[in-house]
Structure 1
Amino acid sequence: MATSEPQALVTLDQETRLHEDDHHSIKLWLRLLTCSSLIESRLRTSLRETFDTTLPRFDFLAQLERTPNGLTMGELSRRMMVSGGNISGIATQLVNEGLVERSPLPDNRRTVLVKLTPKGARTFAQMAEEHEHWIIGMLGHLEVAEVDQLMVLLSRVKEGL
């Protein structure tokens, strides 16, 4: 009986699509996409394993943490660039867990304002602290001068868009 040797795991990412003669802009796009996807994937895993939560829920809480007076569901939807239905589902889950509260605006009862509860603020603070450690763990090997250079170059990319 033949035994098979363990095969090396091959990481498939967006850059595997590259061809040597691809335009440099395509190569850059796929490198940016790969890096972003790898970071996001690790964050999703860490949030799930450490806090039993998702990246959209973390982002939802982060938006509210930045605006202590709360946000309307429409504002949350615009800031997170997702549909109102997605926001509504996340809000319901977080209300049920006691992390956020919803209340109608006094001057417009059809518009709902969402705010962090004290429990939500404490929970998010713990998540944000870990999130910061994870990001530093992934990008902290870069020297300050390298980060500065990347920031300048990415600003040029952003301006071109």
Structure 2
Amino acid sequence: MTAPFAQQEALSKERLRLWLRMLRVTRQVEAALRERLRVEYDSTLPRFDVMSALQRAPDGLKMNELSRSLRVSNGNVTGIVDRLVEDGSVERIAIEGDRRATRVRLTPAGRDAFTTMAVAHEGWVNALLDGVTEEDAHHIGELLHRLPAETGERQ
């Protein structure tokens, strides 16, 4: 075995170990957040994600824009939006000139509910990552920016 090949193999194995660690930590944090949203707010992570996307768009989003921003299918978002409309957190708004399209946005009650959940969510993440200093978090974030984007290109 030549030295460059051995180095490439060692690098490949270390990258695989890194991926598995990142996956494990991500799954553990996500599981804890899902459970806390369920127990404390009778909510789900996908519901939280939809409300978060709508919070960032005060004028609302078309359903296809919402799906695209969450990187899920329209069908996945429709059921969540239906339930949010039923409980008064989201409203549908007709788009003039396009009878097939609607815009959805948070209601004032939905904004209040999301704000409460978002504050708790941030606190939970902070507690779950308690061993990570501000400097560590910044450094890890910078390192992760070196990873390829979805398209295979570097960010």
TM range (shorter): 0.7 to 0.9
Distance between the aligned counterparts of 2:106 and 2:135, measured in 1?
Answer: 37
Distance between the aligned counterparts of 2:66 and 2:107, measured in 1?
Answer: 16
* 1:155 alignment counterpart: 145
Taking structure 2 as the reference length, the TM-score comes to: 0.86
Which residue among 104, 116, 121 is the counterpart of 2:106? 116
RMSD: 1.8
Shift of 1:81: 1.2
Distance between the aligned counterparts of 1:41 and 1:75, measured in 2?
Answer: 27
Is the counterpart of residue 39 in structure 1 residue 29 in structure 2?
yes
Which residue among 64, 67, 92 is the counterpart of 2:57? 67
Which residue among 18, 21, 27 is the counterpart of 1:28? 18
The runs of at least 4 aligned residues of structure 1 exceeding 3 Å deviation read 158-161
Identity of aligned residues (%): 40
**Aligned length in residues:** 142
Is the counterpart of residue 128 in structure 1 residue 118 in structure 2?
yes
Distance between the aligned counterparts of 2:76 and 2:134, measured in 1?
Answer: 38
Distance between the aligned counterparts of 1:34 and 1:113, measured in 2?
Answer: 37
Distance between the aligned counterparts of 1:146 and 1:103, measured in 2?
Answer: 44
Distance between the aligned counterparts of 1:84 and 1:95, measured in 2?
Answer: 16
* 1:3 alignment counterpart: none
Deviations 1:81-136 (A, max 9, x none): 11111111111100000000012201212111001001100100100010010011
Distance between the aligned counterparts of 1:144 and 1:73, measured in 2?
Answer: 37
* 2:43 alignment counterpart: 53
Shift of 1:148: 2.0
